[in-house]
Amino acid sequence: MTAFRPLPSPRALCAVLTGSLALFAAGAAEAGMAYVSNERGNSITAIDTDTLAVTKTAKVGRRPRGIIMSPDGKAIYLCASDDHSVQVIDPVSLKVLRKLKSGPDPELFALHPSGNPLYIANEDDNQVTVLDVEKNKVIAQVPVGTEPEGMAVSPDGKILVATSETTNMAHFIDTESFKIVANVLVDARPRFAEFTRDGKKLFVSAEVGGSVSVIDPATLQIIKKITFKIPGISKETIQPVGVRVTSDGKTAFVALGPANHVAVVNAETFEVVDYLLVGQRVWQLAFSPDEKQLFTTNGNSNDVSVIDVPNRKVVKSIKVGGAPWGVVVAPQ
């Protein structure tokens, strides 16, 4: 038989309730934020993902481009290209906490799934810098092809992929030995690389080639080259850059640059199923943690478009700073 337990007093109940409300409020303040780097505005803009309104804009280093977040959501990493550094920014105050050694002109980077190290593409020096973010210490510098840009780490953290824009290659780098283990030739000017969550496919966009190559990382073969065709828009204008794949691996979204559209691709059959009109020169993309929203940076129209992922509809475009480049959404 269970022992009789007195009911908690009303005051205690109130305290518990208030406490849990406070906890809930603190959680809400952390999650539900998107952060956009404004390349010409030299700033980052915070957007509330519920109200889709700008909550704050803060000055950062010069020419901010690549932007990612630590897996715990406590730090924003930002490539301040003209300051030749990676800045660590507090997501709440948007203040620059510290600067990391990035090597010259960092543009894009990728974080190891464990949160450390950071792999930075140094476009001018044709190399990838591997940086311990906690110690701010360069672990290795890996020479790659000319003008490296796109960076992706496999979900198991064993392979780093760097795409070089002029060599037109995706370099596969072993994250233990820091040696290039394979190169895959793709179409002209590869800009961005993205692994599927299961690590079985790698999407590499080619800006000038106008295609997205889907590579099987196990065989290093290109399974499919996805091309795009939008009625009324010239072929040359279609320049794929940012790519994001849903975690179930079923749908890919491709930003088509000056074509002002985001392509929706069936990531299993590789058929393009839709084109969504967004702002001018759409560059990078980021999902909300529940993958119900996709944020796009539109560099020439200075705004961010929000796509309703399940319904495949652009619901809103939000004005941000000058030339928005990269976007990241805080993890839940």
Residue ranges that bind other proteins, judged by CB under 8 A: 231-233, 260, 277-280, 301, 303, 305-306, 314-317
Upper half-sphere CA count for residue 242 (Cβ side, 13 Å): 30
Least distance (Å) between residue 317 CB and other proteins: 4
By beta-carbon proximity to other proteins, the closer residue of 133 and 327 is 327
Q: Which is nearer to other proteins, 147 or 303 (CB)?
A: 303
Residue 292 beta carbon to other proteins: minimum distance, rounded to whole angstroms: 17
Residue among 194 and 303 whose Cβ is closer to other proteins = 303
Closest to other proteins by CB, 52 vs 140, is 52
Residue number, 80 or 262, with CB nearest to other proteins: 262
Q: Closer to other proteins at the Cβ: 16 or 277?
A: 277
CB under 8 Å to 69, separation ≥6 — which residues?
A: 35, 75, 76, 77, 91, 328, 329, 330, 331
CB of 206 to other proteins, least distance (A): 23
Closest distance of CB 260 from other proteins, Å: 7
Nearer to other proteins, 23 or 53 (CB): 53
Give min distance, CB of 281 to other proteins, in A. 10
Q: Smallest distance from the beta carbon of 231 to other proteins, in angstroms?
A: 7
Q: Shortest gap between Cβ of 278 and other proteins (angstroms)?
A: 6
